[in-house]
Amino acid sequence: MGPEYTLEALRMVSDWAKWLVTIETFAIAILGTLFTTDKVSVDKRARLFGSAAIVSFVASICFAAMLLLTLPEIAQTIRPGMNIWLAEDSVAGGLFGLNTQGFALIESILFGFGILFSAATILTVIWSDTQHAP
């Protein structure tokens, strides 16, 4: 596998991380709007689920930032036949003991938890017995 394919793989990983950060930022804004509007009364369960979603999204964004910070260094050290998923030769990778795949996996898992907690928040708001404010 040539270096051009390795660089393309790095671009794909970068694009994935940036798209997740964009979606997570939007989701945090929506949850924040839901919790601060006067039109909907949000019970404690929904607040708990929403808070867990926001924490998951923020943690995922942190791992995405670490992943994105490793990519330029990896791009500079590309070797023939290099598997970017297994690259650990970055400062962040050495500091946290994670390779590119580890950062991406944790980021994606936290994103998944954020989506699940967001769905739980919305379903709790829909099915809660609290009355909507006038």
Q: Is residue 17 in some structural domain?
A: yes
Domain limits at 72?
3-127
Q: Is residue 9 in some structural domain?
A: yes
Q: Is residue 122 in some structural domain?
A: yes
Give the C-alpha distances (Å, rounded to integers) separating 94 from 62, 107, 116: 17, 18, 31
Q: Is residue 134 in some structural domain?
A: no
pTM metric for this prediction: 0.87
Give the model confidence (pLDDT) of 63-119 as tens digits.
999 999 888 888 888 887 888 888 876 677 777 888 889 999 999 999 999 999 999
Q: Is residue 132 in some structural domain?
A: no
How many structural domains does the chain have? Answer: 1
Count CB neighbours of 15 within 10 A: 10
